[in-house]
A and B are shown apart, each in its own frame.
Chain A
């Protein structure tokens, strides 16, 4: 569906406003029912605890690590901790 067709169905004439709402709707839609999914791999650095989430991520669906509970270089999901470990980290970035 083109933006113009959507505007006609809604009865809008302001393109900028329509596109702003469409962008909001695409975000909302991907929060509820993921239509566009991708994966990204990041290097794990020794002693670095904090890693930035991808800039364009709307909803995190899975976090996997290489060799998680295996020694075959497979990527497997890792669990989320309930609290934080007592060993604090200094990288603080």
Chain B
């Protein structure tokens, strides 16, 4: 049985900081563990970063803006595609997907639905939108820039991360699960990664040499060919018909120890520093971008939106009185809509310590 925990949070910029109460208790007879400086209200034992990893441990409930609608039933590998994580290419967010034996091609069926789906804006126009879900960072709407046959789905979402990547390099693989410079003598891979980072590799002629890997260790050297990354686990999305990954279940991530095939003749290897973030991409998305689109709001609240748009138009014209009137109506309708959902009499409760 899991043990009871005590968390708290605070906001830092656009990030959420999670802290956990780290308590150390004795058996009631003997003092155990803690250093004397760690005891007390400001002691190190009190609140600190989470002291254990918990899968799906944090749940955030939030409101989002309904700027899109997903029109079809979501079916895995028809219009819902799992991705293993993301990287940044040319400053743009790029989602990564590989199977157990090969990279996924976003150009062929079924993944090609990201640019040629049957409904929504996708396929109907030259605007290809996807909605990401289950991600720890990128949930929501993104527009596809380039779909590639090497597992990369590049979007138009700008990311400020400055992560290392190399394209079309001479890189060698060996059966000790190591990768290293294979010719140019200028690629010191170990200088750019640390243990437990992730890499996404494309370009190898051997399927299982490509894909998302964790780095189990690095060995730095002043010689490029000896500056090596040792790969630990290889991650893949599940294919139902695949005997290795199939039993894992379509909505789960498959992982196995890296098992590289030795190669010394590759000159078009691309290596990206990646972020593992198992999530999914939905296609067949209809984005609010033309006159025939339906605004995804209850009919009554759509009237409030009319007042909001009227207010913005009045503001543009410098008619502040009209703007204020329309904003007041906007808020009035919102409040009426909120009140309409609460039935019965309302009264304020008096607290037990109130002055009587």
> In angstroms, how far is the closest chain A Cβ from the Cβ of B93?
10
CB <8 Å contact, B14 and A49: no
Inter-chain CA distance A39–B312, complex, in Å, is: 31
> In angstroms, how far is the closest chain B Cβ from the Cβ of A56?
3
Which of B51-59, B98-106, B113-121 sits within the interface?
B51-59
Q: Is B288 an interface residue (CB 8 A)?
A: yes
CB neighbours (8 Å) of A2 from chain B are 291-295
With A40-B60, A81-B47 given, is the CB distance from A49 to B17 under 8 Å? Answer: yes
Inter-chain CA distance A25–B19, complex, in Å, is: 35
CB <8 Å contact, A58 and B63: yes
Q: Closest chain B residue to A38 by CB distance? A: B64
Which of B75-83, B130-138, B226-234 sits within the interface?
B130-138
CB <8 Å contact, B47 and A85: yes
CB neighbours (8 Å) of A31 from chain B are 63
CB <8 Å contact, B139 and A55: yes
- Measured as residues with beta carbon below 8 angstroms from the partner, the interface class of chain A is 35 or more
CB <8 Å contact, A19 and B288: yes
With A15-B291, A22-B305, A37-B61 given, is the CB distance from A42 to B56 under 8 Å? Answer: yes
With A29-B304, A46-B51, A75-B59 given, is the CB distance from A36 to B66 under 8 Å? Answer: yes
CB <8 Å contact, A50 and B309: no
Which of B3-11, B26-34, B215-223, B239-247 sits within the interface?
B3-11
CB <8 Å contact, B137 and A52: yes
**Interface mask (A1-24 → B, CB under 8 Å = 1, otherwise 0):** 111101101101001001101111
CB <8 Å contact, A78 and B136: no
CB neighbours (8 Å) of B137 from chain A are 52, 54-55
> In angstroms, how far is the closest chain B Cβ from the Cβ of A54?
5
With A25-B305, A32-B331 given, is the CB distance from A79 to B63 under 8 Å? Answer: no
**Interface mask (B34-61 → A, CB under 8 Å = 1, otherwise 0):** 0000000010101111111111111111
Partner of B60, one of A12, A54, A71, A73: A54
CB neighbours (8 Å) of B59 from chain A are 39-42, 62-66, 75
Main secondary structure of the interface of B (DSSP, over half): mixed
CB neighbours (8 Å) of A35 from chain B are 63, 66, 297-298, 301
CB neighbours (8 Å) of B47 from chain A are 81, 85, 87
CB <8 Å contact, A4 and B54: no
Q: Closest chain B residue to A90 by CB distance? A: B49
Q: Closest chain B residue to A91 by CB distance? A: B49
> In angstroms, how far is the closest chain B Cβ from the Cβ of A58?
5
Q: Is B2 an interface residue (CB 8 A)?
A: yes
Q: Is B302 an interface residue (CB 8 A)?
A: yes
Partner of B62, one of A42, A48, A61, A80: A61
CB neighbours (8 Å) of A64 from chain B are 58-61
Q: Closest chain A residue to B297 by CB distance? A: A35
CB <8 Å contact, B2 and A47: no
Known: A46-B51, A62-B59, A67-B54. 9 other contacts (CB 8 A): A22-B309, A44-B18, A62-B60, A64-B59, A65-B18, A79-B9, A81-B9, A81-B47, A85-B47
A residues contacting B by CB (< 8 A) are: 1-4, 6-7, 9-10, 12, 15, 18-19, 21-73, 75, 78-81, 83-87, 89, 91
B residues contacting A by CB (< 8 A) are: 1-12, 14-19, 42, 44, 46-67, 132, 134-141, 288-299, 301-302, 304-306, 308-310, 312-313, 331, 334, 337-338
Sampled A-B contacts (16; CB under 8 Å): A10-B306, A21-B309, A31-B63, A37-B64, A43-B57, A44-B54, A46-B52, A49-B49, A52-B16, A54-B64, A54-B139, A63-B60, A64-B59, A71-B3, A80-B10, A85-B46
